[in-house]
């Protein structure tokens, strides 16, 4: 198309409207849309109801998978848990990155979480404990950091060594060794969780009206309890979990644009790998590039011409084109 023809075409479509006019009331249309949506929401809610899953609690975890809770407590003390090794914004570390773009590190440690104290020692210290746990707390607090790490790391390795082929731990098979107060601390935390006191102690950290559930979620995320329930309810990333609802209700379809990338095998490899380990950062950049592409559509030759090549809008405005014609060079 030459420049002259393009000008002529643009002038044709920009000509003064000479056809009929119709009264249009945007408030009336908005009110109708609101009413129809409200009726649909009430009717569908009555027909299908909505998920009402009970919240996950540490008590539930401790009672259904005590070995896993115990081992997670030991990992917090040893600094080998997911939380302790997460990196920013919770603690120092590199975190996920795309090449030299260390997004997580750039954000900095804005929400510090000390896995030893916040998740184990502080909750244990918040209530009256049995004498062996009180003695263990005293021994832990009196020990040098190196000694604490030596005890906890040795016990963590001993506990993890009892895993069978299914990954199930057998605490009665832990080899004897010098683990200091760590076994008593983990036993005390498990007892606390079993009674429900750990749920309260975790919520009690923070302000009077506590709405920050970060520490609870991090602790839960380090074990297998929440992970197993998420898998059972199809809420993992590789089953569109980001846009799924619990149960058999449809999910948040508008998140499909984000969620679809997590379905690609290279981003959800069970054995990990660079792409899977850094999937969140890589997918962030992919989406930023795509969003930029959408914003720049009017300036990208070829892409901006797609409506002319695939003229779906002429189907919508077929009456207009029938009456008033199209530009022909």
Partner 1 sequence: MNLLGIDLNQPATYKDIWEWVSVSVPNLIVIIIMGALFVGALLLPFPKGKDES
* Interacting residues toward partner 1 by CB under 8 A: 20-23, 46-49, 51, 53, 232-234, 239-240, 243-251, 253, 263-265, 312, 315-316, 319
- The distance of closest approach from Cβ of residue 262 to partner 1 in the complex, given in angstroms and rounded to an integer, is 11
| Residue 288, CB-side half-sphere exposure with 13 Å CA sphere | 6
Q: Which residue has the tokens 């030596």?
A: 150
- The distance of closest approach from Cβ of residue 264 to partner 1 in the complex, given in angstroms and rounded to an integer, is 7
**Is 45 or 274 the residue whose CB approaches partner 1 more closely?**
45
- The distance of closest approach from Cβ of residue 223 to partner 1 in the complex, given in angstroms and rounded to an integer, is 21
- The distance of closest approach from Cβ of residue 166 to partner 1 in the complex, given in angstroms and rounded to an integer, is 22
Q: Which residue has the tokens 């530009």?
A: 327
**Is 20 or 176 the residue whose CB approaches partner 1 more closely?**
20
- The distance of closest approach from Cβ of residue 163 to partner 1 in the complex, given in angstroms and rounded to an integer, is 27
**Is 72 or 259 the residue whose CB approaches partner 1 more closely?**
259
SS3 107: helix
163 vs 139: CA distance, rounded Å: 28
**Is 200 or 276 the residue whose CB approaches partner 1 more closely?**
276
309 vs 89: CA distance, rounded Å: 48
Q: Show Cβ contacts of residue 207 under 8 Å, excluding neighbours closer than 6 positions.
A: none
- Within the chain, where are the H helices? 3-13, 26-48, 58-64, 66-78, 103-107, 115-116, 122-125, 131-142, 145-160, 182-195, 197-204, 214-222, 225-232, 256-259, 274-277, 279-295, 306-309, 312-316, 318-324
Q: Residue 101 — φ and ψ, nearest 5°?
A: -85, 90
**Is 53 or 178 the residue whose CB approaches partner 1 more closely?**
53
- The distance of closest approach from Cβ of residue 306 to partner 1 in the complex, given in angstroms and rounded to an integer, is 16
**Is 11 or 40 the residue whose CB approaches partner 1 more closely?**
40
């Amino acid at each position: 198309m030459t420049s002259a023809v393009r000008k002529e075409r643009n002038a044709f479509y920009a000509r003064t409207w000479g056809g009929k006019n119709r009264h249009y009331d945007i408030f009336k249309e908005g009110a109708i849309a609101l009413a129809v949506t409200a009726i649909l929401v009430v009717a569908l809610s009555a027909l299908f109801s909505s998920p009402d899953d009970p919240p996950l609690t540490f008590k539930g975890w401790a009672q259904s998978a005590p070995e896993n809770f115990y081992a997670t407590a030991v990992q917090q003390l040893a600094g080998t848990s997911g939380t302790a090794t997460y990196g920013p914004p919770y603690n120092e570390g590199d975190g996920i990155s795309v090449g030299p773009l260390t997004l997580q590190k750039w954000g900095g440690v804005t929400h510090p979480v000390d896995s030893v104290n916040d998740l184990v020692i502080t909750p244990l210290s918040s209530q009256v404990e049995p004498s062996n746990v009180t003695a263990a707390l005293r021994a832990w607090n009196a020990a040098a950091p190196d000694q604490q790490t030596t005890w906890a790391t040795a016990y963590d390795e001993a506990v993890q060594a009892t895993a069978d082929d299914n990954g199930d731990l057998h605490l009665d098979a832990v080899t004897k060794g010098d683990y200091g107060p760590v076994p008593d601390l983990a036993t005390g935390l498990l007892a606390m969780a079993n009674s429900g006191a750990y749920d309260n102690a975790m919520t009690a950290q923070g302000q009077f009206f506590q709405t920050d559930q970060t520490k609870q979620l991090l602790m839960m995320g380090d074990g297998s309890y929440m992970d197993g329930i998420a898998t059972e309810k199809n809420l993992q990333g590789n089953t569109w979990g980001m846009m799924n609802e619990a149960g058999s209700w449809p999910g948040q379809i508008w998140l499909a644009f984000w969620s679809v990338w997590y379905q690609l095998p290279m981003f959800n490899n069970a054995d990990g790998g660079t792409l899977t380990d850094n999937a969140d950062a890589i997918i962030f950049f992919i989406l930023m590039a795509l969003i930029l592409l959408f914003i720049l559509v009017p300036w990208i030759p070829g892409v901006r011409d797609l409506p002319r090549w695939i003229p779906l809008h002429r189907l919508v405005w077929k009456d207009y084109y029938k009456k008033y014609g199209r530009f022909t060079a």
